[in-house]
Structure 1
Amino acid sequence: MFDWLEHMAQWLVYGVMGLNPEDHLAKALDFFIYDSIKILLLLFTVVFLMGVVNSYFPIDRVKNYLSRNKLYGAEYLMASLFGVVTPFCSCSSVPLFIGFVRGGIPLGVTFAFLVTSPLVNEVAIGLFVGLFGVKTTILYVFSGILLGTISGLILQKLRLEKHLTPWAKEVLDNAQRDQERFEAEKQSFKQRLPIIWQEALKILKGVLPYVIIGIAIGGLMHGYIPEGFFEKYMAKENLLAVPIATILAIPMYSNASGILPIVQVLVAKGIPLGTAIAFMMGVVGLSLPEAMLLKKVMTFKLIGIFFGVVMLCIILSGYLFNIIL
C-alpha cells in the first residue's frame, strides 16, 4: 500500500543524503521518514472519514445500540477480526484507535482492535505459514484474535473512560457538537465539509508532536539495537524466559513481517517457540513509540493498565504455546 512512500524515503536517505545503507543512522532516518509520513497520512485520512460518518450517523446512536443490544462479546470479536484485515504495525493502528474514540465506539471494543491489528495480518500469516507451517500459523492466528477479544473485554469491564486525556474528551465533545449542528441546520455535505476538514486538521496538529517523538524513538531502536541482543535471556532452561522475553521486547519496535525472520533464528538456536512468539508479540503489540502516540489520548495510568493487561495475556499465550508445541 505504501511502497511508493518507502521508495521515496530510501531515495531521500540513500540517494539525496548519500548515506550508507549499512549505517545505523541511515537505517534510523529511513525508518523515521517512512513511518512519520505514513502515520500522519493514515491519521488525517481516518479522522476525516470518521468526521464524515459522524456528521450523518450520531455518536449517541452507536453508544445506545451497543448498550441496548446484548451482543455477548461479539462486538469485541468483530473488532479483533477487523484488526486482522488491517495490515498495520502498533503505531499505525493508533490513528484508527483515535478515529474509533472520536466515533464513540466503546473503549474496550477499540482496545480489541488495537491489540489484534499489529499482531495478525495477511503479511504475517503468509510469512508464518512459510516459516513454521500451517498448524502453528492457525494456532497463532487464533491466539492473536483471542488475545484481542479477551483484552478488550477485560479493559471494558474496568470502565476506563475517565482515564482518557482532556484532549480526547474534547475531541469527543467537538464531534458531538458538530453532529448536533449538522442535524439542526440540515446542512448539505458541501456545507459540512469545511467543518470536518478543520476538525481533522486540528486533531492532526494536536497529535503531531507525539507522532514525531514516538517515531523518532522507534527509528533509533530500529537502527541501533542489535538483532541478537536479547537472545541470552530467552534460553529454555530459564523458567521465567517467557515474561522476560515479553518485557525485553517492549523497548524494541517493528512490525510482524520485520520481526518474524528474527523469531525463526531464535527458534533455530533452540529457544522454545512459545518464548520466541511471546517476544514477537511484545515487539509488535507493545512498544515505547506506541506509548508515546497513545499519550495524547490516554493518561499514563490508562497506558499502564492497557500495557499490563496485554502483557499478561501475551505471557499466558507464550506458556500455552510452549506446552502445546
Structure 2
Amino acid sequence: MILSPATHPTGWRGHATVLASLALWWALYRQLVPLSEWITSLFPVAPHSHAGEAIAFFFYDVPKVMMLLTLIVFAMGVVRSYFSAEKTRALLSGKREGVGNIMAAGLGILTPFCSCSAVPLFIGFVSAGVPLGVTFSFLIAAPMVNEVALVLLFGLVGWQVAATYLAFGLGIAVVAGFIIGKLRLEGWLQDWVREIHSGANAPDIPEGEALSMTDRYKLGIEAVREIFGKVWKWIILGIALGAAIHGYVPEDLMVRIMGADAWWSVPAAVLMGIPMYTNAAGVIPIVEALLGKGAALGTVLAFMMSVIALSLPEMIILRQVLTLRLIAVFIGVVGSGILAVGFLFNILF
C-alpha cells in the first residue's frame, strides 16, 4: 500500500487525536488497580482469599498487557514507517548483534515488566525487524532482572548477593540472546511473524518519498489491527492460567523441596517455578519466606528466576509468535543459565 503525503497536508488533527488518545491511555492505565479491586468486590469472595487474589490478578493483568501491546505495536508501526525493510536490516545487521544484545538486556533491566508484559515489546521488536537474538536478550532480562528485584534483594540478603544476581542475570540475557541469534532461527518464528520480520508484509514506502505524520499514524493503527487480532485470545488464556496459579501457591511443598541439600533441589525448584506466574516484586516475598524457613539461597534464586523468566503463561502467549521448536530452544538456553546460577550461588553462599 502506497500512502501519499498530500492526502493530509497539515496533519494537525492526527497529532491532536494521538495526543488525546495517549492522555486517555495513561488515565486508564493509572486506574487499573482500583478497577481490578472494584471488579473483584462484585464477586462473592473475600478480597484476600485465594479466589479473590486470582480474580484481582486477572482483571488487572489482562487490560495492562492489552494496553501495553496496543501502545507498543502502534509506536513500532510508526517508527517502522521511517525505514524500508532494507534500511532496517542494514541498521541491525548481524555484525551489531553483540552490542545490540547488551543494549537490549540493559533496556530490559530498566523496564519493570513481568514476563507477560514484556511480550508485547518483544513482538514490537520482532515486527520492526530487530534481530531475533537481540529481542530475546530483552525478553529474558526484562522480567528476570529489574530495579525492583535488585532493591528488594539488597534489603533482604545484602549488596553482594544483589550485585552477583545482577551480573549473572544480565550475563544470561546477553549470552542466551547472542546464542539464539547465532543459531539463525528466524525460520522457527510463526509464519505471520516471519513475514513481518522479513519485510514481506511491510508497507510499500518508496525511497525518498516522505509520508505525512497522519499517514504514519495510519500505518501504526494497521500494525495494531494485524498483530492484536492474532494474539489477544492467547494473551487472555495465558493470564487466566497465571491468575489461577497466582492465587494458589503451594508454599509448604516448595520449602520442603528447596530446603534439601541434594543436587536435584535446584532443577526441582526450576521445574516448580515454571507453572507459576508473578513479577519480580511479587515473588520476592515468597523468596523471603523460603529463605526464612531454611531453603538454600541458590535454589531459591533459581526458583525465582524460573518463575519470572520461564512462566507457563508467558509460553502460551509466545506460542502465537514462536514455533514449539523455538520455544524449546529458548527454555533450554535460559534454563541452563538459571541452573548454573543456582548451583553457583549454593557453592559461593
Pairwise TM-score range, normalised by the shorter structure: over 0.9
TM-score, L = length of structure 1: 0.93
Residue in structure 2 matching 1:309, options 330, 333, 343? 333
Say which is worse superposed, 152-161 or 17-26, in terms of deviation: 17-26
Quote the residue 2:309 is aligned against: 285
- Residue 46 (str. 1) matches residue 72 (str. 2): yes
Quote the residue 1:9 is aligned against: 36
Q: Which amino acid aligns with 1:9?
A: S
**Cα distance, 1:183 vs. partner?**
4.6
Counterpart mapping for 1:209-224 below 5 A: 209-224=233-248
Distance in structure 2 (CA, Å) of the matches to 1:143 and 1:175: 38
Q: Which amino acid aligns with 1:23?
A: S
Distance in structure 2 (CA, Å) of the matches to 1:189 and 1:175: 23
Quote the residue 1:153 is aligned against: 178
**Cα distance, 1:57 vs. partner?**
2.6
Distance in structure 1 (CA, Å) of the matches to 2:105 and 2:36: 31
**Cα distance, 1:289 vs. partner?**
0.4
- Residue 33 (str. 1) matches residue 59 (str. 2): yes
- What SS does the corresponding residue of 1:127 show, helix, strand or coil? helix
Contact 2:129–2:198, Cα closer than 8 Å, also in 1: no
Contact 1:73–1:153, Cα closer than 8 Å, also in 2: yes
Distance in structure 2 (CA, Å) of the matches to 1:60 and 1:240: 49
Task: Go from structure 1 to structure 2 and tell me whether the alpha carbon gap of 1:11 and 1:122 turns closer, same or farther (over 3 Å shift).
Answer: same
Counterpart mapping for 1:247-286 below 5 A: 247-286=271-310
Contact 1:242–1:274, Cα closer than 8 Å, also in 2: yes
- What SS does the corresponding residue of 2:123 show, helix, strand or coil? helix
Residue in structure 1 matching 2:83, options 53, 57, 60? 57
How many residues are paired up? 322
**Cα distance, 1:191 vs. partner?**
2.5
**Cα distance, 1:18 vs. partner?**
5.0
Quote the residue 2:4 is aligned against: none
**Cα distance, 1:202 vs. partner?**
2.3
Contact 1:118–1:255, Cα closer than 8 Å, also in 2: yes
Structure 1, unpaired ranges of 5+: none
Quote the residue 2:159 is aligned against: 134
Distance in structure 2 (CA, Å) of the matches to 1:189 and 1:173: 24
Q: Which amino acid aligns with 2:51?
A: L
Which structure has the bigger radius of gyration? Answer: 2
**Cα distance, 1:236 vs. partner?**
3.5
Contact 2:77–2:220, Cα closer than 8 Å, also in 1: yes
Quote the residue 1:181 is aligned against: 205
Contact 1:250–1:288, Cα closer than 8 Å, also in 2: yes
Residue in structure 2 matching 1:243, options 230, 255, 267? 267
Distance in structure 2 (CA, Å) of the matches to 1:209 and 1:128: 35
Q: Which amino acid aligns with 1:298?
A: L
**Cα distance, 1:122 vs. partner?**
1.5
Task: Go from structure 1 to structure 2 and tell me whether the alpha carbon gap of 1:254 and 1:72 turns closer, same or farther (over 3 Å shift).
Answer: closer
Q: Which amino acid aligns with 1:207?
A: V
Counterpart mapping for 1:79-98 below 5 A: 79-98=104-123
Q: Which amino acid aligns with 1:77?
A: I
Contact 2:97–2:134, Cα closer than 8 Å, also in 1: no
Q: Which amino acid aligns with 1:165?
A: Q
Task: Go from structure 1 to structure 2 and tell me whether the alpha carbon gap of 1:187 and 1:73 turns closer, same or farther (over 3 Å shift).
Answer: closer
Distance in structure 1 (CA, Å) of the matches to 2:109 and 2:341: 18
- Residue 169 (str. 1) matches residue 194 (str. 2): yes
Distance in structure 1 (CA, Å) of the matches to 2:261 and 2:347: 14
Quote the residue 1:208 is aligned against: 232
Contact 1:91–1:289, Cα closer than 8 Å, also in 2: yes
Quote the residue 1:123 is aligned against: 148
